[in-house]
Amino acid sequence: MKIIESPAEMQRFSESARLAGGRIALVPTMGYLHEGHLSLMREGRRRASVLVASLFVNPTQFGPREDLDSYPRDMERDCRLMETVAVDVLFAPQASAMYPPGAQTWVEVTELTRDLCGASRPGHFRGVTTVVAKLFNIVKPHYALFGAKDYQQLCAVRQMVRDLNFDVEIVPMPTVREEDGLAMSSRNSYLSAAERTAALSLSRALQAACKAFAHGERGAGRLAQIARLELERMGGVAVEYVEVRDAVDLREIATVQAPAVVAIAARVGRTRLIDNMVLGGAE
Ligand code: PAF
């Protein structure tokens, strides 16, 4: 696996891969890889002749009181894991190379990022879409793979690609879960054993809503309430939101007529976790 740190060198590499007829897949990550990331990389490997993974803990998507400094990092382990799924190039820039002094351009998807996680993390999605736009311009991928666990991020990236005519296909991939249902996340490493047990309430709550939907419940408020009750039943979880929204544009709905997403954000101890499941359609 080749490691490239410089954006200019990455651009040159991608340009010549394209000229040689290569198809490039990009898996953007902030590292501390788990099976969810690896599933994206395997799919990228299947689709493209050149598989690029990026590892960049993007400072602009963290708020001032968030976990940028403590975000888990283990580059050696990440490199070993990337080798197992045959990543060709790891793009791992320094923050100073991604945001040289004087940078003043942002990419912002407005409506879609206002609610849900956008409401409690001001500036977060602006940081995400800005860095993803930069990664697209640097890596020049034909495909970019994103996990559905970060559902609002996936919607925002799709919207950005549509609005700004990026010539890249966004490939969404299903959330990968531990055997007991916990959605995989690098932030799960923050959880103590007791918190890890409490965190199971998120997937249980989503399953409760899915079950009610399967039994014919279509009221968005009712479905959200069913999820909330399950989420709060065992304690140890501070709910930030439980919402049932349109699965494509995340707008509020009264009844589920087209695919909808049940989305949850909650704190377990000091760790903020998110999870979601789609009702009535593929993710
Ligand atoms: O999902 C993530 O890990 C990050 O938000 C991403 C897409 C790599 C952008 O920094």
**pLDDT by residue (tens digit) across 6-32?**
999 999 999 999 999 999 999 999 999
> CB within 6 Å of ligand 1 — which residues?
28-30, 58, 61, 128, 131-132, 150, 153
The answer to whether 41 and 127 are in contact (CB under 8 A) is: no
What value does the mean pLDDT take over residues 240-250?
A: 98
According to the model, what pLDDT value does residue 105 have? 98
Residue nearest to atom 1 of ligand 1 (CA): 29
Same domain, 112 and 135: yes
Question: Closest ligand 1 atom, CA of 54?
Answer: 8
Same domain, 107 and 147: yes
The overall average pLDDT reported for the chain is 97
> Picking from 68-77, 107-116, 140-149, 274-283, which range would have the lowest pLDDT averaged per residue?
274-283
Integer Cα distance of 242 and 234 in angstroms:
16
pLDDT (tens digit per residue) in 188-205: 999 999 999 999 999 999
According to the model, what pLDDT value does residue 281 have? 76
Residue nearest to atom 5 of ligand 1 (CA): 128
Which tops the pLDDT comparison, 282 or 117? 117
Q: Is residue 178, in this structure, part of any structural domain at all?
A: no
Q: Is residue 92, in this structure, part of any structural domain at all?
A: yes
Q: Is residue 180, in this structure, part of any structural domain at all?
A: no
Helices (H), the chain: 7-19, 35-47, 75-84, 95-98, 117-120, 124-139, 151-163, 193-214, 220-233
According to the model, what pLDDT value does residue 10 have? 99
Same domain, 101 and 213: no
Task: Output the CA 31–ligand 1 centroid distance in Å.
Answer: 9
Q: Is residue 266, in this structure, part of any structural domain at all?
A: yes
**End-of-domain residue from the set 141, 173, 205:** 173
158 exposed, middle or buried (CB, 10 Å; 0-12, 13-18, 19+)? Answer: middle
Same domain, 168 and 212: no
According to the model, what pLDDT value does residue 203 have? 98
What value does the mean pLDDT take over residues 43-61?
A: 98
pLDDT (tens digit per residue) in 105-164: 999 999 999 999 999 999 999 999 999 999 999 999 999 999 999 999 999 999 999 999
Catalytic residue status for 37:
yes
Tell me how far the alpha carbon of residue 227 is from its chain's centroid.
22
Q: Which domain holds residue 215?
A: 186-276
Same domain, 154 and 222: no
Task: Output the CA 58–ligand 1 centroid distance in Å.
Answer: 8
Of 34, 37, 124, 142, the active-site residue reads 37
Q: Is residue 103, in this structure, part of any structural domain at all?
A: yes
Q: Is residue 20, in this structure, part of any structural domain at all?
A: yes
Task: Output the CA 128–ligand 1 centroid distance in Å.
Answer: 6
What value does the mean pLDDT take over residues 172-183?
A: 98
**Beta bridge mates, 277:** 262
What value does the mean pLDDT take over residues 36-48?
A: 98
Same domain, 35 and 115: yes
Residue from 26, 91, 113, 132 whose mutation best tests the ligand 1 pocket (most atoms within 8 A of CB):
132
Residue 184 has pLDDT above 80, yes or no: yes
Q: Is residue 6, in this structure, part of any structural domain at all?
A: yes
Task: Output the CA 254–ligand 1 centroid distance in Å.
Answer: 31
According to the model, what pLDDT value does residue 123 have? 98
Residue 54 has pLDDT above 70, yes or no: yes
Neighbours of 202 (CB within 10 A): 26
According to the model, what pLDDT value does residue 228 have? 98
Neighbours of 7 (CB within 10 A): 19
According to the model, what pLDDT value does residue 70 have? 95
Same domain, 147 and 11: yes
According to the model, what pLDDT value does residue 282 have? 54
